Amino acid sequence: MRSKDLLLTNLVVTEDNYSFYGSFTLSSSDKSITVNLSDLDSDIKLNEIKNLFHLEETNEEIKKILMDKISENAQIGSHLKEGEKYQESSSKSSVEKNAGSLDMA
């Protein structure tokens, strides 16, 4: 199996004083494992993932592919959240502009 074929779900990333923490679930059709972001720096954990899913790539390749998947998933959530805030602020500023023009009359 290849790392790119794994499904990455349940991504949770938190930040505390510019330190990022996170976890996610990796799964195939019949197996799954929960992984902490910090585990990706450990060859022991990468070997566990590699053996569990019978992955063909090296540990470095697995880590790079997983980090790409994490970045992609995090950006999707970020865009959704930014979109909500953008709509709220744009509709408020539109109302404020209309109210401001009434004050001048």
Residue 84: band (very low, low, confident or very high) from pLDDT cuts 50, 70, 90: low
Task: Kindly tell me if the per-residue pLDDT of 82 is higher than 90.
Answer: no
pLDDT, one tens digit per residue, over 21-68 is: 899 999 999 999 999 999 999 999 999 999 999 999 999 999 999 999
Q: Are 77 and 84 in contact (CB under 8 A)?
A: no
pTM over 0.75: no
Residue 97: band (very low, low, confident or very high) from pLDDT cuts 50, 70, 90: low
Sequence-distant (6+) residues with CB within 8 A of 67 are 40
37, burial (CB in 10 Å: exposed 0-12, middle 13-18, buried 19+):
middle
